[in-house]
């Protein structure tokens, strides 16, 4: 690399631009947690250079010394326009948004708006592990509604969980993950409409974590929860963090449906002003100008999903994999390999491949691992080769 922006290009597959030696120089979690002989395909960071419009926005801000408290509505405006262009949704009203420091802190704020300490929060397990930690941190309790056939939302299980959550007439929330981490399932309009109906009938408030919304394959359609009929009192969290790899440049948006505007008004000013101004600049640039880069990423991810399916079929045919259309994560059912409840430990110790342990994703996660596809195809190939080597 010769300059701060060298390596930054658009329209070419961003997953093919960095060498492993360049990646090993990174100081973020994915590449620092394990020694150099380990291939890290775990935490949700992507092995991509920054999208050029984002890099330019940040370097311009640095050149201006523009590192104070954040202000204005450029971020929600950019997201509203992105939502209109990409999802055909024009219901994102800038005045019904609040800046939040990041998506998980936004989830906590949203849960605080609609529930009281000790109330229940329903989640679809297996699900993103911090859902458990942050719900507990917010003083609420998790009620699990396991995913059903083909890893999709099971409406009967959800209804049963809603009943348990509302026992004694207490308020309750449903923390929906859309698209779903770790399965990559993109919920359909019909599913989300049924969810809204069920939530309405049981008096459960829906908080939709839609952080992976930009990362949906070209052939699929992301449906914003707040766009479906009956979702008017819902809350959503969005950000450019997953789509453009901005976890180090934090920032999220809490978005309220029309009937949740009064709730949103209770978000303390101090929460919104705690959002990183450089983060807001980065996320705004991503949503406003990062579409071409995102399209190239999505094409690369499609290739990687196919590659992984082919590699598993050839080298690890006993592993179950149903490629999702969203996220850059692959949920692998390793129960037939005979590696016990926690195959991630075996793959780390013996294959030197770091994956996320399914056990951390709640009920139903045992015997599974989560693999991060947002990397170079060569690394996926090498990882599967190593994994197959320990299975014999
Ligand atoms: C579903 C989901 N929500 C939230 C986050 C984290 O978001 P943030 O870093 O903005 O808190 C992730 C990160 O992978 C995620 O997958």
Q: Which of 130, 183, 249 to probe ligand 1 with, by most ligand atoms within 8 A of CB?
A: 130
Residue 8: its pLDDT value, please? Answer: 46
Question: What global pTM score does this model have?
Answer: 0.96
- Residue 102 CA to ligand 1 centre (angstroms): 8
Average pLDDT score over residue span 205-222: 96
State the Cα angle at 48 between 46 and 54, rounded to 5°.
Answer: 105
Burial class (CB in 10 A: 0-12, 13-18, 19+), 232: middle
177 Cα nearest atom in ligand 1: 1
Tell me: the pLDDT tens digits for 68-87? 999 999 999 999 999 999 99
Residue 218: its pLDDT value, please? Answer: 86
106 Cα nearest atom in ligand 1: 11
Residue 164: its pLDDT value, please? Answer: 98
Q: Is the peptide bond before 126 cis (omega within 30 degrees of 0)?
A: yes
Kindly report the protein residue whose alpha carbon is nearest to atom 13 of ligand 1: 44
Kindly report the protein residue whose alpha carbon is nearest to atom 12 of ligand 1: 211
Instruction: Flag whether pLDDT at 103 surpasses 50.
Output: yes
- Residue 252 CA to ligand 1 centre (angstroms): 10
Kindly report the protein residue whose alpha carbon is nearest to atom 7 of ligand 1: 103
Q: What percent of the chain has pLDDT over 90?
A: 96
Burial class (CB in 10 A: 0-12, 13-18, 19+), 51: buried
Average pLDDT score over residue span 99-116: 98
Tell me: the pLDDT tens digits for 112-129? 999 999 999 999 999 999
The span from the CA of 145 to the CA of 161, in Å, is 6
- Residue 218 CA to ligand 1 centre (angstroms): 22
> Band of the pLDDT at 1, cuts 50, 70, 90?
very low
Tell me: the pLDDT tens digits for 215-230? 999 889 999 999 999 9
> Band of the pLDDT at 3, cuts 50, 70, 90?
very low
> Band of the pLDDT at 15, cuts 50, 70, 90?
very high
Q: Average pLDDT over the chain, rounded to whole?
A: 96
Q: Which of 46, 104, 213, 279 to probe ligand 1 with, by most ligand atoms within 8 A of CB?
A: 104
- Residue 108 CA to ligand 1 centre (angstroms): 12
327 Cα nearest atom in ligand 1: 16
Instruction: Flag whether pLDDT at 4 surpasses 70.
Output: no
Angle between helices 291-315 and 74-87 (to 10 degrees): 60
- Residue 269 CA to ligand 1 centre (angstroms): 22
Instruction: Flag whether pLDDT at 104 surpasses 90.
Output: yes
- Residue 262 CA to ligand 1 centre (angstroms): 26
Residue 146: its pLDDT value, please? Answer: 98
3-state secondary structure of 354: strand
- Residue 44 CA to ligand 1 centre (angstroms): 8
3-state secondary structure of 229: coil
Q: Which of 41, 106, 181 to probe ligand 1 with, by most ligand atoms within 8 A of CB?
A: 181
Average pLDDT score over residue span 130-137: 98
Instruction: Flag whether pLDDT at 189 surpasses 70.
Output: yes
Residue 381: its pLDDT value, please? Answer: 98
The span from the CA of 168 to the CA of 353, in Å, is 47
Q: What percent of the chain has pLDDT over 70?
A: 97
Tell me: the pLDDT tens digits for 275-321? 999 999 999 999 999 999 999 999 999 999 999 999 999 999 999 99
Could you give the residue ranges of the DSSP H alpha helices within the chain? 20-24, 29-32, 52-64, 74-87, 103-114, 130-137, 155-165, 189-202, 241-244, 261-264, 269-273, 277-289, 291-315, 343-346, 377-391
Residue showing tokens 């951390």: 360
Residue 9: its pLDDT value, please? Answer: 43
Instruction: Flag whether pLDDT at 34 surpasses 70.
Output: yes
247 Cα nearest atom in ligand 1: 9
State the DSSP code for 232. T
Tell me: the pLDDT tens digits for 258-267? 999 999 999 9
> Band of the pLDDT at 33, cuts 50, 70, 90?
very high
Instruction: Flag whether pLDDT at 337 surpasses 80.
Output: yes
The span from the CA of 101 to the CA of 277, in Å, is 10
Kindly report the protein residue whose alpha carbon is nearest to atom 8 of ligand 1: 103
Ligand 1 lining (C-beta closer than 6 Å): 44, 102-104, 128, 177, 181, 209, 211, 239, 241, 247, 252
Instruction: Flag whether pLDDT at 177 surpasses 60.
Output: yes
Residue 11: its pLDDT value, please? Answer: 72
The span from the CA of 245 to the CA of 34, in Å, is 20
Residue 5: its pLDDT value, please? Answer: 47
- Residue 341 CA to ligand 1 centre (angstroms): 25
- Residue 372 CA to ligand 1 centre (angstroms): 14
């Amino acid at each position: 690399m010769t300059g701060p922006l060298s390596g930054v290009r658009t329209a070419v597959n961003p997953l093919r631009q960095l060498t492993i030696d360049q990646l090993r120089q990174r100081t973020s979690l994915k590449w620092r947690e394990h020694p150099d002989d380990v291939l890290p395909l775990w935490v949700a960071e992507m092995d991509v250079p920054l999208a050029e419009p984002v890099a330019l926005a940040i370097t311009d801000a640095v050149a201006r010394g523009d590192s104070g408290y954040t202000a204005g509505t450029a971020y929600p405006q950019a997201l509203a326009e992105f939502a209109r262009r990409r999802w055909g949704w024009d219901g994102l009203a800038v005045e019904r948004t609040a800046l939040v420091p990041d998506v998980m802190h936004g989830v906590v704020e949203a849960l605080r708006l609609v529930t009281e300490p000790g109330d229940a929060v329903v989640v679809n397990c297996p699900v993103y592990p911090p859902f458990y930690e942050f719900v507990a941190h917010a003083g609420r309790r998790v009620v699990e509604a396991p995913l059903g056939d083909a890893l999709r939302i099971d409406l009967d299980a959800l209804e049963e969980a809603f009943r348990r959550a509302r026992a004694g007439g207490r308020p309750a929330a449903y923390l929906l993950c859309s698209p779903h981490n770790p399965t990559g399932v993109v919920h359909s309009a019909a599913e989300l409409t049924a969810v809204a109906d069920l939530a309405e009938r049981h008096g459960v408030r829906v908080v939709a974590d839609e952080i992976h919304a930009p990362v949906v394959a070209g052939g699929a359609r992301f449906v914003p929860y707040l766009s479906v009929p009956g979702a008017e009192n819902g809350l959503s969290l969005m950000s450019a963090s997953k789509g453009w790899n901005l976890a180090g440049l934090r920032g999220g948006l809490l978005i309220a449906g029309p009937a949740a505007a009064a709730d949103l008004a209770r978000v303390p000013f101090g929460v919104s002003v705690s959002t990183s101004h450089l983060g807001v600049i980065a996320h705004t640039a991503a949503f406003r100008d990062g579409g071409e880069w995102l399209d190239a990423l999505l094409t690369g991810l499609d290739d990687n999903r196919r590659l992984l399916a082919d590699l598993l079929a050839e080298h690890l045919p006993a592993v179950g994999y149903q490629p999702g259309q969203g996220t850059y994560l692959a949920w692998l059912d390793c129960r037939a390999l005979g590696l016990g409840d926690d195959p991630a430990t075996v793959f780390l110790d013996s294959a030197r491949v770091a994956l996320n342990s399914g056990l951390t994703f709640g009920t139903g996660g045992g015997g599974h691992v989560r693999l991060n596809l947002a990397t170079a195809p060569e690394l996926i190939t090498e990882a599967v080769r190593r994994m197959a080597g320990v299975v014999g």
